[in-house]
Amino acid sequence: MPFAPTSDLSDADHGGAGNLQLMLADLARLVRTESPSSDLEAVRRSARIMADLVHERLSRRPEIVDVDGVHHVLLRGADPRVLILGHHDTVWPIGTLDVLPYLEADGVVRGPGCFDMKLGVVQAVHALARLVERHGSRALDRVTLLVTGDEEVGSTTSRAIIEAEAARCSAALMLEAAGPGGSLKTARKGVSRYDVAVVGRAAHSGLEPEKGINATIAAAEAVLAIAVLGDAAAGTTVTPTALTSGTSPNTVPASATFAVDVRATTVDEQRRVDAAIRGVRPAVDGARIDVRGGINRPPMERVAAEGLFRRAERIAHDLGHPPLVSVSVGGASDGNFTAGMGVPTLDGLGAVGGGAHADDEHAEIAWILPRTDLLEALVEEIALEGSTAER
């Protein structure tokens, strides 16, 4: 569903949602500040740049919240109705810009993290700036903006902040990238992650293998037992992933570890799989299995988004945009947390493009101002006009 604006991407053509060139300059600034989740110093630098950008555009200095060395950017409204949520960390290691530099060409922007999801937070800041221009600083009193620094690795340090801020609001709007063709994300699978450790006993594999307890064999049997726990009809996937085992070619391995990724559409399915994984017993006598991890994010069920999607659908029509489409996806976001609390949540309001976590990551320039218009109108209606989010 390609967007078909006029060739002139001026402010006038898009309701004055913001200056496109200024937005692209802000995006370039964020993308060129590399911020892999695992590099806490890089995330700290990125949080500072993000905070400076918020201050420059909104004339309010946000708080930088440090939780276990991870830095999150929080601009809290005095009486918030809407939580606008994004993240500034990415999956790309330091040095990626040397091979995948920020570029604007042929109607798209490219660069590590531009689609997932630095353009989304730029759109959020500029939508709020436009609301301040029209309604004064009171607009910021009705909104909380939170840009976290560890979404890509499970939001372990930001979850408590997300849930605390969401509890004060009547709606949560997620600036994660849109689905195919600009579709909004109204349902997401829940995520569970496990690290399974298998403990055996080492022995020389040539001289006395019978004295060993082979952790590789025990792990292989456990992998097979866990892999069959998925249920295609229920939309549940259970995928053993990274595996390591042993220390040398001539030693019965004393240990092995493997990871398991679980995606499910319901909490009941998450709990079923969780119990089953924890119930797996070693098939090799004397071996021991230890399971760490568990349910990370609950599912974002469609009911949490239905009212907000209908509202966005109407606003998009009024703005002259193509009809909005909703989509259910397997990937999770911080919207899973807010929806799991019962807070109406709409996701996928950010960049339109593709290539998340891949070398062809990109965002389509033609969508930037229209999507910023949509967010501005949605926030205005919920936060400033006293219209509560539909549940």
CATH number of 190-297: 3.30.70.360
> What pLDDT score does 206 carry?
96
Of 151, 347, 361, 373, the active-site residue reads: 151
Q: Is 176 a catalytic residue?
A: no
Of 26, 34, 89, 380, the active-site residue reads: 89
Q: Tell me where in the chain the CATH 3.30.70.360 domain(s) lie.
A: 190-297
Please write the tens of the pLDDT for every residue from 34-45. 999 999 999 999
Pairing of strands 288-297, 190-199: antiparallel
Dihedral sign for Cα 275, 235, 148, 258, please: positive
Q: What share of the chain is helix, strand, coil (3-state, %, to 5)?
A: 40, 25, 35
SS3 state at 214:
coil
CATH of the domain spanning 11-188+299-384, picked from 3.40.50.150, 3.30.590.10, 3.40.630.10, 3.40.720.10: 3.40.630.10
Name the CA dihedral angle for 32, 35, 40, 44, rounded to a multiple of 10 degrees. Answer: 50
> Of 351, 356, 346, nearest to 381 (Cα)?
346
Please write the tens of the pLDDT for every residue from 236-248. 999 999 999 999 9
β-sheet bridge partners, residue 63: 74
> What pLDDT score does 4 carry?
52
Q: Is 89 a catalytic residue?
A: yes
Q: Tell me where in the chain the CATH 3.40.630.10 domain(s) lie.
A: 11-188+299-384
> What pLDDT score does 6 carry?
40
> What pLDDT score does 384 carry?
86
Containing H/E element for 75?
strand 70-75
Dihedral sign for Cα 96, 182, 151, 154, please: negative
DSSP annotation string for 143-183: EEEEEES-GGGT-TTTHHHHHHHHTT-SEEEE-SPP-GGG-
What parts of the chain have a pLDDT lower than 70?
A: 1-18, 386-391
Interatomic CA distance for residues 213 and 253, integer angstroms: 7
